[in-house]
Amino acid sequence: MYKSTYPKQFPANFLWGGATAANQVEGAWNIDGKGLTTAEVVQKTTDRKHMSMGDVTSESIKIAMADTTDAMYPKRRGVDFYHHYKEDIKLFAEMGFKVYRFSMAWARIFPKGTETEPNEAGLAFYDRVLAELKKYNIEPLVTLSHYEMPINLTVEQNGWASRQTIAAFNRFTETVFKRYHGQVHYWLTFNEINTGTWGFHETGAIDKDLSQTEQLQIRYQALHHQFVASAIATKQLHEIDPNAKIGSMLARMQTYPATPNPVDVQAAQLEDQKNLFFTDVQARGEYPEYMNRYFAENDIQLEMAPDDQAILAKYPVDFISFSYYMTTVTAADEGEQVNGNMATGGRNPYLEASDWGWQIDPVGLRVTLNEMWDRYRKPLFIVENGLGAVDELAADGHVHDDYRIDYLRKHIIQMREAISDGVELMGYTMWGPIDLISFSTSEMSKRYGFIYVDQDDAGQGSLKRIKKDSFAWYQKVIASNGDDL
């Protein structure tokens, strides 16, 4: 007789931790030979809910490059992890982190992106970070490009729009794979690679004066170069360090149909395909047919070198990672998709939203995990999830962030459900365990952390680290391997 059983707990080797990105935490933007990055030329916004991440022109880059201060560019200052990394990693260890996801700033290692030899002082910083993690047995999970590249590559060759950027990136990846062979077991190539279709911050390409069709053309061409560079990185890593694994990284946003009307269901399916397309290429090794149709209908013609398709097919990723913050809704008649926008999508009357309009959907995480597991049958890793909120230091000197605990708890419960459904989930790195500069708004006051950092939007403050209430809660979650929520 067939006896059905299913897992009821997180696996013993589950990787609990947190995630950050170089340009949001490190600071030290011009120290020890580091070059300026694309992230560091994006100005802070004056409208706190505005997405500023793509507002860059050739002119604004010139102005930013001439500006040697950080007043208008908060990603240059981060939270000074560069000088606080020991203290910060110690706090992560105190929470019991098994893994810490961070990114290596390409421009710390290849300041202009075009050098043939790396900047030793830049590598030395990551040597120190890795040594500190090892001290506490925290596994590093390294993102190779988290929304940034040396700005020189934009100025000289328009970022990923140029095929030459593939070789520049793979010089960087080969350097760090060799250097950290045996030390880093998990790598990610491009953070939220799908957001490249939104523009500059992912592709590093300026396309402001182009028509809509021309913009799409340049963005998908840039993405094609990223796909190829990612596949080449996979090949390099497997040759250099056969025990290490490399993953893709998608901003996953499930789209629900606004009604059960089949035309709405079909519209939602198409939106979903357009979101999963990136992982389809990176995990299955080929462009899916639905995108070929989309390219043809939108006059997009990708230029491919003769070997590109073979490279994509031969070197798919080992695992699939994604960020999960929200879900969205669509209808065939776009008029019904009221109050939506590009970043947050259509409104769902069953869900509440964060102060920034991100619709909170813990059950959607279970749905997402099941669908992605069914589609790819490759291990999954949630590498971002969390609540951006305005935290106040109370009179007692603490931050009582029960709303954050509530958000995270509800998502972790659904992760456990998905594991019981049979999903293979490697780990969970919530976003921003320590407060950092928000990517989309460049603000400090949109906080995600278990650790409060005393710094305001103007960059004023002592940078003192203060544990929030959620700190002890997450410590307990990890200590009980997800049982005590």
Pick 157 or 442: Cβ nearer ligand BGP: 442
Least Å distance, CB 167 to ligand BGP, is 26
Q: Does 321 engage in binding with ligand BGP (CB under 6 A)?
A: no
Radius of gyration of the chain (CA): 21
Interface residue with ligand BGP among 446, 447, 465, 468 (CB under 6 A) is 446
Q: What is each CA distance from 360 to 173, 348, 408, 410, 463, in whole angstroms?
A: 35, 10, 11, 10, 30
Least Å distance, CB 323 to ligand BGP, is 5
Pick 257 or 388: Cβ nearer ligand BGP: 388
CB 415 within 8 A of CB 369: yes
Interface residue with ligand BGP among 145, 438, 455, 470 (CB under 6 A) is 438
Binding mask 94-133 for ligand BGP (x = CB under 6 A): ----------------------------------------
Judged by CB under 6 A, the chain residues 374 through 393 that form the site for ligand BGP are 384, 388
Interface residue with ligand BGP among 106, 200, 439, 471 (CB under 6 A) is 439
Q: Does 404 engage in binding with ligand BGP (CB under 6 A)?
A: no
Q: Does 440 engage in binding with ligand BGP (CB under 6 A)?
A: yes
**Residue 37 DSSP SS3:** strand
Least Å distance, CB 40 to ligand BGP, is 14
Size, binding site for ligand BGP by CB under 6 A: 14
Judged by CB under 6 A, the chain residues 9 through 28 that form the site for ligand BGP are 21, 24
Q: Does 145 engage in binding with ligand BGP (CB under 6 A)?
A: no
> Quick check: is 132 catalytic?
no
Q: Annotated catalytic residue: which of 384, 392, 417, 424?
A: 384
Judged by CB under 6 A, the chain residues 175 through 194 that form the site for ligand BGP are 191-192
Binding mask 148-167 for ligand BGP (x = CB under 6 A): --------------------
CB under 6 A: which stretch of 239-247, 278-286, 431-439, 475-483 binds ligand BGP? 431-439
**Residue 99 DSSP SS3:** strand
Pick 173 or 440: Cβ nearer ligand BGP: 440
Pick 24 or 157: Cβ nearer ligand BGP: 24
Q: Does 414 engage in binding with ligand BGP (CB under 6 A)?
A: no
**Distance linking the first and last C-alpha atoms of the chain:** 36
Binding site for ligand BGP (CB under 6 A): 21, 24, 147, 191-192, 251, 323, 384, 388, 431, 438-440, 446
Please give the positions annotated as active site: 384
